[in-house]
Amino acid sequence: MAIHVLIEEDKIQKKVREIGKNITDYYKDKTDEIIAVCVLKGSVNYFSDLVKNIDLDVIYNFIQVSSYSGEITTGVVKVKSWLDEPLENKHVLIVEDIIDTGNTLKYIIKYLQRQNPLSIEVTSIVVKKAHEHGIDVKFPGFSIEDKFVVGYGLDYEEKYRNLPYIGYII
């Protein structure tokens, strides 16, 4: 299988630096500490690059959910592991690799809200344009067409996550 490169590594890294700066600027008058929630597995590459570009105290938290089988969403979000710290009175930033149908994020936001955080914002390195998910993505990366993409954390059947760029299989 070959991969067609859609977003090159240096473009991703430049975008991550910009988003990190926007996040720092957005929070710096509100708080000096945020809880960044990495949505495993796909967000691990973006999360790890992003936090290095945020000039605040960033407390890490990890959740693992999954709903895809190959290129198809099952529509059912399975929780494999969940938060290990309370979010009450904290500013929470959810870090996603991709928002496609929006099902995963809607599910996560619904459950995080129950913990009464001060705020919940979202960043995602890729957002697909096709779906009207209605989620306010405060810190978006790249807006892409409705094609199944891999790389930079994104997988097809668990492969291609370690590619440094984002592309699609041809």
Least separation in angstroms between CB 103 and ligand PRP? 4
- The answer to whether 127 contacts ligand HPA (rule: CB under 6 A) is no
Q: Which is nearer to ligand HPA, 107 or 148 (CB)?
A: 148
CA 31, distance to chain mean position in Å, is: 21
The token pair at 117 is 């955080």
49 binds, among ligand PRP, ligand HPA, none (CB under 5 to 8 A by kind): none
Query: How far is the CA of 75 from the CAs of 32, 106, 124, in angstroms?
Result: 37, 12, 20
For residue 133, what are the contacts with CB-CB under 8 A and spacing of at least 6? 99, 101, 102, 105, 106
Please list the residues that pair with 73 across neighbouring strands.
Answer: 68
Catalytic hit among 57, 100, 136, 155: 100
The token pair at 80 is 């494999």
- Please name which of 137, 33, 51 lies closest in space to residue 89, comparing C-alpha atoms: 33
Query: How far is the CA of 90 from the CAs of 18, 75, 149, 164, in angstroms?
Result: 24, 30, 33, 32
Please choose, out of 9-17, 43-51, 56-64, 149-157, the segment that lies near ligand HPA by the rule CB under 6 A.
Answer: 149-157
- The answer to whether 98 contacts ligand HPA (rule: CB under 6 A) is yes
149 binds, among ligand PRP, ligand HPA, none (CB under 5 to 8 A by kind): ligand HPA
Mark whether 100 is an active-site residue: yes
- The answer to whether 100 contacts ligand HPA (rule: CB under 6 A) is yes
60-79 residues near ligand PRP, rule: CB under 6 A: 66-68, 73
Q: Which of 7, 20, 27, 41 binds ligand PRP (CB under 6 A)?
A: 41
Residue 35 near residue 57, CB atoms below 8 Å: no
- The answer to whether 121 contacts ligand PRP (rule: CB under 6 A) is no
148 binds, among ligand PRP, ligand HPA, none (CB under 5 to 8 A by kind): ligand HPA
Q: Cα-atom radius of gyration of the chain, to the nearest Å?
A: 15
Interacting residues toward ligand PRP by CB under 6 A: 39, 41-42, 66-68, 73, 96-104, 155
Catalytic residues, by residue number, are 100
